[in-house]
Amino acid sequence: MQKWICTVCRHIYDPDEGDPVNDVPPATSFEELLEEWRCPVCEAGRNLFEPYPDPKQRLEEG
């Protein structure tokens, strides 16, 4: 499934693992997260996440 990365703290949301901090069970896609879901690390909103890996960033990572 598609992973998403927090643009604030670079935490990666992995749908295969879910989010134990926020009681999100494994196999929960990013789209299925609640509106009020927040990054478990920095509490950034969902709108601050972007798909990972981002093709644009891959170039920088080499």
Interacting residue ranges for Zn ion, rule: CB under 5 A: 6, 8-9, 11, 39, 41-42, 44
Please answer whether residues 18 and 1 qualify as being in contact, where contact means their C-beta atoms are separated by less than 8 angstroms: no
Residue (1 or 41) nearer to Zn ion, CB: 41
CA-to-CA distance for 36 and 13, rounded, in angstroms? 15
Q: Which is nearer to Zn ion, 5 or 28 (CB)?
A: 5
Report, in Å, the least distance between residue 48 CB and Zn ion. 7
The set of residues, in sequence order, having a beta carbon less than 8 Å from that of 32 and lying 6+ positions away, is none
Question: By C-beta, is 24 or 39 nearer to Zn ion?
Answer: 39
